[in-house]
Amino acid sequence: MAEPRVLVLDDDPPPDLRRLAGRARVLRTDESGLAAALPEADVLLVWNFLSDAVKRAWPGDGPRPSWVHTASAGVDRLLPELAGSDTVITNARGVFDQPIAEYVTGWVLAMAKDFAGSWELQRSHRWQHRETMRVGGTRAVVVGSGPIGRAIGRTLLALGVSVELVGRTAREGDAEFGHVNGFEALDGLLPEADWVVCAAPLTPATDGLFDAKAFARMKDGAAFVNIGRGAHVVTADLVDALGTGRLRGAAVDVLREEPLGPESPLWDVPGLWISPHMSGDTLGWRRDLAEQFCDNFDHWAAGRPLLNIVDKRLGYVPAH
Amino acid sequence: MAEPRVLVLDDDPPPDLRRLAGRARVLRTDESGLAAALPEADVLLVWNFLSDAVKRAWPGDGPRPSWVHTASAGVDRLLPELAGSDTVITNARGVFDQPIAEYVTGWVLAMAKDFAGSWELQRSHRWQHRETMRVGGTRAVVVGSGPIGRAIGRTLLALGVSVELVGRTAREGDAEFGHVNGFEALDGLLPEADWVVCAAPLTPATDGLFDAKAFARMKDGAAFVNIGRGAHVVTADLVDALGTGRLRGAAVDVLREEPLGPESPLWDVPGLWISPHMSGDTLGWRRDLAEQFCDNFDHWAAGRPLLNIVDKRLGYVPAH
């Protein structure tokens, strides 16, 4: 058999795929060359996971690779276009869990302790004591019961926060959290939470989940954190909710517009903390992502079942 | 027996001591009236724990109260002046442990994730992705093995940080940390640590502990956190160390000059994060401190042993 062809939708810096030397022919393309290169590819690695080029090239003319791996946890930039084809999608499930959990926990602590206020005061050379919030004993609702949501919940639990996970399906007997709530429980949980964290996959069921009604249900002084996708939030509704002053703040690592342009008014919304889609990207993350793909290539080349196969109907890798 | 007289070295707001109604006569004084009021007092509550007035009034003329309680964990503003007298000193051991642990953990995460950088970029409307640091798997040295140091260590352990506690005396068989290191081990531990936290009581042995030699031993990219006392640090040496750019940063909640005046050059030192001695002061802390004093008053009035008796030679409440 000829060496299989692995096509990489590239980004800067490119992945280190030296592990595949002698076992695959690695071809690179940018967005503009993707459609033309696809018919020759056995495997597509979506390294530039912020691109929408893949869904635009599907189904397209000619054969398509039977396996697409994306170097991201979310697959919302591949679906629903690839759902109808035979192509198997795998994702980067696992790589980002702990880094994102740390990021969210850092934000919870920073908002509780008013670090931003301290930095503003330092900038103006003012020593001004304030009383801040104890995190132990507070309550969090984490929307998303996959590995990222669970890692967030686990880390908050370790700080003495009580955690309610919300997932697609309610279930009892969860070893770490006691139970997982279904989405239908969210409305009832929001008024009780000090911290509302969005860690869900973006699917039709979660698109725009955080809207004016959801923010209105949150209690005074609650804070919102989004590390899911920008489209989980109705941005104007979040801005309005922050404008009332009722919320402690909102920290968002993802936005509908990415990268956010310098002219966006969002940069200057009081109480809104923006970071550039980096919560999971700790030093070495690109190496980890490339290793994960090479591991899965080993499975594929040996005819073993692929790891992290996405359920294209659900839009994520199911737990079981 | 006449109602005992409880003298309060007051601060704003004053303590809520309504629990003592009918059982004690509560008298208030400011710093200027303290010396004159002391001979009539059975008990002194040092509510304004930032004051040096008590040590200046000791031993002084006339009788002194047999019990002094300070609404702080540190007793460095009472010693050594009160050490030679029969007066028993008790402190606020316990109230600040978890809040301070959360504060330190928040700083560790904020420095690892470059929150300050994100806020600077947001201020200038720039979307600039960076790779940040994974906290799990890093190493911390916590100097101070009392309840505050232990709470810090416990919280960092929960994030997957390996923790070395440093206390006065090395000991094996610690249930949470495996062992506690003696001070003589500190020089060897500093080069290995990503996070160096000062949570020690201020005593002659720890005064100026963090000096040029200590900072020089820290590894590149290490960060320093001080929630002990300002005098633990040779400030100019810390500024010099930050100036080399070798350290990730330093977060200090305590300084030699408190409150720090608006003209201080420290406000503008790059990589130095200053907060105004508030790490332990969560909402309700004053109520907790007043309750703790009233609890101890119950012991005193009933002739039972006082809680949190400070070893005036050591300068803190020993563990056993």
The ipTM value here is 0.92
Q: Where are the alpha helices (DSSP H) in B29-146?
A: 34-37, 53-56, 97-112, 115-123
**Would the CB atoms of A118 and B267 count as touching at under 8 Å?**
no
Distance CA B36, CA A83 (A): 84
Within 8 A of B274 by CB-CB distance, chain A residues are 118, 122
Task: Assign B319 a pLDDT band (cuts: 50, 70, 90).
Answer: confident
Task: Assign A319 a pLDDT band (cuts: 50, 70, 90).
Answer: confident
Our CA-based measurement puts residue A264 at a distance from the nearest CA of chain B, in whole angstroms, of 8
Our CA-based measurement puts residue A316 at a distance from the nearest CA of chain B, in whole angstroms, of 25
Is A229 among the residues known to form the active site?
Answer: yes
The pLDDT assigned to A86 comes to 92
Give tens-digit pLDDT for A102-148: 999 999 999 999 999 999 999 999 999 999 999 999 999 999 999 99
The pLDDT assigned to A11 comes to 82
List the 12-51 stretch of A: residues with Cβ below 8 A of B. none
Our CA-based measurement puts residue B292 at a distance from the nearest CA of chain A, in whole angstroms, of 18
**A320 pLDDT higher than 60:** no
Q: Name the residue in chain A with its Cα closest to that of B258.
A: A127
**Would the CB atoms of B260 and A105 count as touching at under 8 Å?**
no
The pLDDT assigned to B16 comes to 96
Confirm if A313 and A89 have CB atoms less than 8 A apart.
no
Give tens-digit pLDDT for A56-111: 999 998 999 999 999 999 999 999 999 989 999 999 999 999 999 999 999 999 99
Nearest to A109 among B102, B127, B284 (CB): B102
Active site residues of B: 229, 258, 277
**A152 pLDDT higher than 60:** yes
Please give the mean pLDDT across all residues of chain B: 96
Our CA-based measurement puts residue B116 at a distance from the nearest CA of chain A, in whole angstroms, of 8
Percent share of chain B, pLDDT over 90: 96
A256 in reach of chain B (CB within 8 A): no
A262 in reach of chain B (CB within 8 A): yes
Give tens-digit pLDDT for B60-74: 989 999 999 999 999
Please give the mean pLDDT across all residues of chain A: 96
Query: Which is nearest to B291 in space by CA: B8, B11, B17, B54?
Result: B17
Percent share of chain B, pLDDT over 70: 99
Work out the number of other CB atoms within 10 angstroms of the CB of residue A274. 22
Our CA-based measurement puts residue B259 at a distance from the nearest CA of chain A, in whole angstroms, of 6
B137 in reach of chain A (CB within 8 A): no
Q: Name the residue in chain B with its Cα closest to that of A136.
A: B98
**A314 pLDDT higher than 70:** yes
**B100 pLDDT higher than 90:** yes
Q: Name the residue in chain A with its Cα closest to that of B99.
A: A134
Work out the number of other CB atoms within 10 angstroms of the CB of residue B13. 8
Distance CA B249, CA B218 (A): 12
A160 in reach of chain B (CB within 8 A): yes
Our CA-based measurement puts residue A318 at a distance from the nearest CA of chain B, in whole angstroms, of 26
B256 in reach of chain A (CB within 8 A): no
Query: Which is nearest to B112 in space by CA: B157, B165, B159?
Result: B159
Q: What are phi and psi of A101, to 5 degrees?
A: -60, -40
**B306 pLDDT higher than 60:** yes
Average pLDDT over residues A201-218: 97
**B320 pLDDT higher than 70:** no
Give tens-digit pLDDT for A180-209: 999 999 999 999 999 999 999 999 999 999
B258 in reach of chain A (CB within 8 A): yes
Q: How far is CA B28 from CA A26, B4, B16, B46, B52, in A?
A: 80, 14, 12, 11, 17
Write the DSSP symbol of residue B233.
B
Task: Assign B12 a pLDDT band (cuts: 50, 70, 90).
Answer: confident
Catalytic choice (A258, A287, A299, A304): A258
Structural domain spans, chain A: 5-94+283-301, 97-274
Within 8 A of A159 by CB-CB distance, chain B residues are 102, 105, 155, 158
A266 in reach of chain B (CB within 8 A): no
**B1 pLDDT higher than 80:** no
State how beta strands B139-143 and B195-198 pair. Answer: parallel
pTM over 0.90: yes
Give tens-digit pLDDT for B156-211: 999 999 999 999 999 999 999 999 999 999 999 999 999 999 999 999 999 999 99
Nearest to B278 among A130, A136, A274 (CB): A130
Selected for mutation to probe chain A from B72, B96, B107, B135 (highest A CB count within 10 Å) is: B135
Confirm if A206 and A182 have CB atoms less than 8 A apart.
no
A221 in reach of chain B (CB within 8 A): no
Confirm if A62 and A41 have CB atoms less than 8 A apart.
no
Within 8 A of A99 by CB-CB distance, chain B residues are 132, 134
The pLDDT assigned to B25 comes to 97
**Would the CB atoms of B278 and A129 count as touching at under 8 Å?**
yes
**Would the CB atoms of B283 and A118 count as touching at under 8 Å?**
no
**Would the CB atoms of A283 and B98 count as touching at under 8 Å?**
no
A307 in reach of chain B (CB within 8 A): no
B281 in reach of chain A (CB within 8 A): yes
Q: How far is CA B262 from CA A121, A149, B268, B272, B289, in A?
A: 11, 43, 11, 15, 30
Within 8 A of B278 by CB-CB distance, chain A residues are 129-132
Give tens-digit pLDDT for A225-251: 999 999 999 999 999 999 999 999 999
**Would the CB atoms of A129 and B281 count as touching at under 8 Å?**
yes
Give tens-digit pLDDT for A276-285: 999 999 999 9
The pLDDT assigned to A94 comes to 92
The pLDDT assigned to A1 comes to 62
The pLDDT assigned to A230 comes to 98
Distance CA B12, CA A58 (A): 69
B88 in reach of chain A (CB within 8 A): no
Q: Exposure string (b/e) for A41-63, b if CB count within 10 Å is 16 or more? A: bbbbbbbbbebebbeebbeeeee
- B5-94+283-301: CATH superfamily: NAD(P)-binding Rossmann-like Domain (3.40.50.720)
The pLDDT assigned to A187 comes to 97
Selected for mutation to probe chain B from A104, A109, A157, A254 (highest B CB count within 10 Å) is: A109
**B113 pLDDT higher than 90:** yes
B221 in reach of chain A (CB within 8 A): no
B97-274: CATH architecture? 3-Layer(aba) Sandwich (3.40)
> A5-94+283-301 with A97-274: one CATH topology?
yes
Our CA-based measurement puts residue B289 at a distance from the nearest CA of chain A, in whole angstroms, of 14
